[in-house]
Structure 1
Amino acid sequence: MSSFIYDALPMRVVFGSGSLARVAGEVERLGLKRALVLSTPARRELADRVAMLLGDRSAGVFDQARMHVPVTTADAAQAVGEELGADGWVATGGGSTIGLAKALALRGGLPVVAVPTTYAGSEMTPIWGLTQDGRKQTGRDRAVLPRAVVYDPDLTLTLPPSVSATSGLNAVAHAVEALYAPDVSPVIAAMAEQGVRDLAAALPVIVERPGDAAARAAGLQGAWLCGACLGATTMGLHHKLCHVLGGMLDLPHAETHAVVLPHVAAYNLPAAPSAAAALRRALATDDAAAALAGLGSRLGVPTGLRDLGVGEADLPRIADEVLTHPYSNPRPVTRPELEALLHAAWEGRT
């Protein structure tokens, strides 16, 4: 690669065990006086804890974040924020909550502090998404980037093994697509390779020994690297498929990425030799796509789209939507090949 452009994304990271205690300092550093804490209902206890840490700088808690950020959810959060006079957002949780904070930042420009509790890595990207009438619209805007990310591995210790596995494979998918993106650079390629290596080593340990603090920290580091790669490159077929599946059928986000990942890798990697070589090194294998499928199997994630509730009759309209507005991809996407890929992913064939 003789020439490239690398555009670094501005990001402040606070990393380490016990880092949650520093969230108030990050809010104060941004000059926020009334930050609204965001969470899903399941993460309400953590949100209340964060609000307590913020003290007088907390405007309260909104705990209705949902997958794929429905427009109605963003409307409701915005209304609560306006009523309480919020001047910023603290997103505590996984991709659903961080996605909501991004949508709110896109609308009003108020800053976000992210406190991730899963391995999805979305806190590192300027990519936002909103879902309305079964269609997920996505875009890229630096205004949605969190101003600070507080990574505390302790917050992941109670994460169920299944969520750890699927969210980690979601992050791996970010790095895999970054490796064959048209705007990949040597910097991003190195980050992607290391991120995949970190997560591939950490996730089996996390699933088998959930209390392993070192593996939890390594997993968060891998998620950080993989997310940053997606934030700096163009998305391809994998993310297009997952966005369509999620928006159209309201599928669980991380599980969808985990199912689709090895199938799109098998489709694209023959057309992306440098990406394939990087993944062979990261996964210590001669067949990266097979190794990704094997990793998912070892982690116990769903293997087929039908396991997530997709009907075989849904596949043609999924293909229609993917082909209507295709993403950049290293290998041309034709309808027969896309339908074959979808059927393999639906059945869970390796």
Structure 2
Amino acid sequence: MRVIEIDGGSGPATALRLGQRPTPEAAPGQVRIRVRAAGVNRPDLLQRGGFYPAPPGASDILGLEVAGEIDQLGQGVTGWSLGDRVCALLGGGGYADHAVVDARHLLALPADLDDIQAAALPETLITVFANVFEAGGLKSGETLLIHGATSGIGVTAIQMAKAAGAHVIATSRGLAKTTAALSLGADISLDATRDDLPAAIAAAGGVDVVLDMVGADYATLNLEALKPGGRWVVIATLSGPLAQVDLRRVMMKRLVLTGSTLRARSADEKARLIAAVRDRAWPWVVSGAVRPPVEATFPLDQAALAHLRLEAGEHVGKIVLTP
């Protein structure tokens, strides 16, 4: 099968190349998917650069989410059939013609959801659910502040929060992105390059949960923005991981500061999360309430161009490979 391999170099044009590997076989408890589309995510960029290695036992091939159809069932797999259209969360292996995955890490596709949009869902949907709804405890009627609101995670978080009955304040950079966030359902969309973010958030009454992909630069902003009892959830540190935090403000406002990654979680924990998503969040996908936009698609052999597009930071929504 065709795969994208990392072959040295620091940039996508030199590090990524099309290669050939044997088609994998589904082990007991696994299924094999004929990949029709694969999501491109920021962790892929980090792995390409040598900063985010695959966890033990995972494929070294890039790619954390795919959509396609099951073309092989491993021993002991029940509840799935050959030809079933699915999307899946992977530990790696998505940038390829075929991928094998724990059968517990699948979600069945509704008939009106195409493979390209389906491939944009697993990593982002599960990340948002785990961080905003489980760790952040977002409830109907509360307010969620999303930094980086037009990223793949951000657009999914806007739609999921609105589907849950929450209010959304979105921050992004530039008029095109702030307009896009409004079109996706944000109640307030702020331009980080022009607006007075602390004043605007305070005028809106503050927030209950912050989904933070920026990190250090927004630490003080987040402390001020959160209402008493608020939850600050960190899932990326694009401006740096080291921040000064006034712990007195944390104590006085009874705040919770937490964060997580998804890839390193155990197979059992991922299965638990996916079962929870299937029960609580997947109905929003089936109804059409959550369908994050796909900014661009690229053929598998143009994975380097997909990485360049993601690195440029001008996209709104997800970027997807189409093997």
Name the TM tier (shorter chain).
under 0.3
From the two aligned structures, give the one with the greater strand fraction.
Answer: 2
More contact order relative to length (CA 8 Å, sep ≥ 6): 2
TM-score under structure 2 length normalisation: 0.28
When normalised by structure 1's length, the TM-score is: 0.26
